[in-house]
Structure 1
Amino acid sequence: MIRLSFILAALLTATSASAMGPWKGDAPACGDEVACPLGTRSYHVMEPDGWDGESPMPVLLHFHGWSRNGIHPQRSERVGASTKRRGVLLVTPNGERNTWRFWQSDSEDVPFADAVLLDVARRYPIDPTKIYVSGYSFGSAMAWRFACQSGNDVAALLAVAGSIDQTETCPEAPGDIRHVHGLADTVMDFPMGPGNDVTYPVALWRRALDCATARMDQGDWQVRSFLTLSRTTWDCAQGDVTLDLHPGGHFIPHGWIGRQLDELLHLTPSYP
């Protein structure tokens, strides 16, 4: 599991080392489509627009979908464009064989993702209080797994159309949970609860964060006119849980990640 103290130590080491541009220490340069090597594996990193090369940045650790790699979310208007415009460093690990192992709690991809964040902190000045984790499809399930096993130092989970078994008990959890899912999703099937309970997709986190039974209907919202999302939230003793539902299938809704980042960073809502 990654610990905040480790991130802070890596950040102090990086900022005290001699720098050439934003790169710290003797780490080999990488970025955008040039992968950052990490042992036998790798990840990609993409700087936001207008970064001054010194200021600590929020981080979005995003797990790609099945059969993809870390470059795909960088090129996506619904992921990469959202981070570039909001001052967020996008970090996209590469899954082995273009997939993730999220079914079991002892997944080797969890310590790999921990190591990715530590390596990023050695290369870049990051804000350890603003580490966000997201993913799409299989990548969303991997984001859930990471948050479940190593989420205490994660500020928020931004999950899109994928999850783990709602009956699990997680040893760790972020303080802010945000999940979006399509009611007509047949790829990562919508996890309907008993009695057709449409709030079941976040049942695990509602238990973990000790949420009140009563839910709060926050109404409908749109970024694009052709898709309406309905938001439900819960008042929780140890954080916040938000569920956005839409009538569509298996995709990242336009502007969804951007809206979550705007709310988390207290920015004026914008699109994309």
Structure 2
Amino acid sequence: MKYFLSLFALLILPAMGPWKAACEGATACELGDRSYHVRAPDEWDEATPMPVMLHFHGWGRQGNLIVNHGRIAGHTRRRGVLLLAPNGNGRTWDFWQAGSQDVDFAAAVIEDAAKRYPIDRSRIYISGYSYGAAMAWRYACDNGDEVAALLAISGTLQQSEECAEGPRTIRHVHGLDDTVMGFPMGPGGDTTNPVALWRRQFDCGTGAKLPDWNAREFLTFQRTQWDNCADGHSVTLDIHSGGHFIPHGWIGWQLDQLMGRAPQYP
């Protein structure tokens, strides 16, 4: 009987894959003296390479919140996207200038996750909220050539910065009434200023006003898109009348559109 049990274990363990024993959810993955959290999608077949969304938490938070957050993990897990949520030192991020060690750490998180799960490197999305959004901008600015899209919520870098790299696609959302990381209004009330850095870097032309949209009836987004940028880059800005929060459905809609699906909620 012991022989048959041992043989059974040998047969099933390769099929189960290393991720079955890996850290996930509330259990952090250790990476040197740092750590991160993971949430795999609900209906993953445990074989197909997954798109990845790495999300930087807001100030004072940690990744365990992100992997259980309805407006973040609630969307990735339904769309076959592997969610990575790194933990910031002191519950914050160093995004203030180029050369941040947090960029190197986040890149190492992706590489470590790739040892645990099969990932689709052509679909790596970098996201963040508040201070985490500014950190996502920093990552995209310093290490963006390997990033398919930046999905940033209510946080930016100074629009005067010069970036060494940049993702193929930029998507940013910001509330006009944000009193925490205030809406970066441009000269003369220019509401397209939150993405001026990327429009300049990608040599974009005039933006097109697209129809207003919403994932939930109580919050409407005004969208401007620049799909005329150099080398196939594109920039999209959504603005709303609210304040400093993660909008219901925003991440899910962006992921759907980036993956060529009809946007839906949740």
Query: C-alpha distance in 2, partners of 1:265/1:91?
Result: 18
Determine helix, strand or coil for the equivalent of 1:195: helix
Q: Quick one: structure 1 residues 23 and 216, their matched pair in 2 at CA, closer, same or farther if it must change by over 3 Å? A: same
Query: C-alpha distance in 2, partners of 1:132/1:37?
Result: 22
User: Number of paired residues?
Assistant: 252
Q: Quick one: structure 1 residues 97 and 20, their matched pair in 2 at CA, closer, same or farther if it must change by over 3 Å? A: farther
Q: Residue 213 of structure 2 is aligned with which of 211, 221, 235? A: 221
Structure 2 unaligned regions, length at least 5: 1-12
What's the CA shift string for 1:18-60, capped at 9, x where partnerless?
A: 8462326xx9720111000000000001000111111000000
Query: C-alpha distance in 2, partners of 1:69/1:37?
Result: 14
Q: Where does residue 101 of structure 2 map in the other structure?
A: 108
1:42 corresponds to 2:39:
no
1:154 corresponds to 2:147:
yes
1:94 corresponds to 2:94:
no
Give the % identical residues: 58
1:248 corresponds to 2:242:
yes
Q: Quick one: structure 1 residues 85 and 253, their matched pair in 2 at CA, closer, same or farther if it must change by over 3 Å? A: same
Q: Counterpart amino acid of 1:170?
A: C
Q: Where does residue 229 of structure 2 map in the other structure?
A: 236
Q: Counterpart amino acid of 1:108?
A: Q
Q: Residue 177 of structure 1 is aligned with which of 170, 183, 186? A: 170
Q: Report the CA distance between 1:226 and its aligned residue.
A: 1.0
1:81 corresponds to 2:78:
no
| TM alignment of 1:127-166, pairs within 5 A | 127-166=120-159
Structure with the bigger percentage of helix: 2
Q: Where does residue 181 of structure 2 map in the other structure?
A: 188
Does 72-81 or 252-261 show the bigger shift?
72-81
Query: C-alpha distance in 2, partners of 1:241/1:225?
Result: 25
Query: C-alpha distance in 2, partners of 1:20/1:205?
Result: 44
1:267 corresponds to 2:254:
no
Q: Where does residue 252 of structure 2 map in the other structure?
A: 258
What's the CA shift string for 1:69-97, capped at 9, x where partnerless?
A: 00112111110010000000000000011
1:199 corresponds to 2:189:
no
Query: C-alpha distance in 2, partners of 1:233/1:270?
Result: 20
Q: Where does residue 3 of structure 1 map in the other structure?
A: none
Determine helix, strand or coil for the equivalent of 1:147: helix
Q: What is the TM-score when the length of structure 2 is the normalising length?
A: 0.92
Q: Counterpart amino acid of 2:244?
A: H
Q: What is the TM-score when the length of structure 1 is the normalising length?
A: 0.90
What's the CA shift string for 1:130-170, capped at 9, x where partnerless?
A: 00000000000000000000000100000000011100110
Q: Where does residue 7 of structure 2 map in the other structure?
A: none
1:167 corresponds to 2:170:
no
Q: Counterpart amino acid of 1:262?
A: D
Q: Counterpart amino acid of 1:248?
A: G
Q: Which has the higher contact order (CA 8 A, sep 6+)?
A: 1
Structure 1 unaligned regions, length at least 5: 1-17
Query: C-alpha distance in 2, partners of 1:45/1:21?
Result: 18
Q: Where does residue 11 of structure 1 map in the other structure?
A: none
Q: Counterpart amino acid of 2:225?
A: T
Runs of 4+ in 1 over 2 A off after TM superposition: 18-22
Query: C-alpha distance in 2, partners of 1:28/1:151?
Result: 31
